[in-house]
Amino acid sequence: MQKIKNIRFFFALSSACTTFAKSREGCAVPADNDTYRKEMEYTLNIRGKLMDLGQPQVMGILNVTPDSFYEGSRKQTEREIALRAQEIVVQGGTMIDIGAFSTRPGAHEVSAEEEGRRLREALAIVRREVPDAVVSVDTYRPQLARRCIAEWGADIINDVSEGGLTGIVNTPIHESERMFDVVGELRCPYILMSVKGTLRDMMVALADEVQQLRDLGAHDIILDPGFGFGKTLAENYALMAQMDKLLVMGLPLLVGISRKSMIYRLVGGDPTTALNGTTALNTIALMKGASILRVHDVAEAVEAVRIVQEMKEVKPQ
């Protein structure tokens, strides 16, 4: 087991996960899951303003890349970026995630200079077009993340490298500071994604990483189970089935399964035909406690949120 710095946090997690040693079902949450979820009230501090996650939020994807896995998400010209940002907000999205490199298998390397140019230009356009939207930047480079938050107007760091602890990205990180140090110094919200394949391994690793972040001064941490990253098809669906058990971490969950291969490898097709499967999985994720859906198709995700929220408001007869 990895070393957990804070003993009290370790024992709190251990007490919630006692079934790990005795059961194949992993970490148990209280029997009344709906009651448990209602007790978890999450907010994010976005530059001094609190964003309430009591109702799940929809984060629209804006890829300023030529090679993202879903062709429909690629936006490169100023007009394309502006229209996409407006579209996300008009369709009900409250968050925009800007990515300037692709993490799909076989994607081309992108230099720090090129990624930075793309992010700087896209952030300027998005801030001009939809100034009230909450904006995250999808980057694994600490120095770029720092500039995005401190200089270019981003609000949240979305990091697929698990703080530089994984080899999931295409380009090695050669920087003098760690992403966790940047997050701790800037005190900005941070999306921590896991590439672990099983729930047990994921929770042990996340417990240590969350404590590292807290020790450095980070407050607003969002957990991303990392669907599609470092996981087999079976592991992806096993994780979705048990995702509500991550609620014992006491942190909001972001789910990003939009048009991913875990859908069309199961039912057939490709990213262009995976909207129906995406909506089905987004609905399940909401029922399992997701606070943020990261999606290509904003209107459909907003509908899923409204339907699930209405179902949760129904009182037993």
Q: How far is 254 from 224, CA to CA, in rounded Å?
A: 5
E-strand ranges in the chain read 43-46, 49-52, 57-63, 95-99, 134-138, 156-159, 190-193, 221-224, 254-255, 292-295
Q: Which of 141, 196, 231, 294 is catalytic?
A: 294
Q: Note whether 135 and 153 are within 8 A (CB).
A: yes
Question: Do you know the residue count of the chain?
Answer: 317
What tokens does 91 get? 């369709």
Rounded to whole angstroms, the Cα distance separating 152 from 188 reads: 14
Q: Which residue type, as a one-letter code, is found at position 189?
A: P
User: Would residue 260 show up in a list of annotated catalytic residues for this protein?
Assistant: yes
Residue 265 to residue 263: CA distance in whole angstroms: 6
Q: Are strands 49-52 and 43-46 parallel, antiparallel or unpaired?
A: antiparallel
The Cβ of residue 19 has, within 10 Å, a number of other Cβ atoms equal to 13
Which of 260, 265, 306, 312 is the catalytic position? 260
Q: Reduce the DSSP state of residue 202 to 3 states and report it.
A: helix
Residue 188 φ/ψ, nearest 5 degrees: -95, 155
Q: What is the DSSP letter of 74?
A: B
Query: What sign for the dihedral angle of Cα 282, 234, 68, 224?
Result: positive
Q: Which residues of 111-140 are buried (b: 16+ CB within 10 A; e: fewer)?
A: ebeebbebbbbbbebbeebbeebbbbbbbb
Active site residues: 260, 294
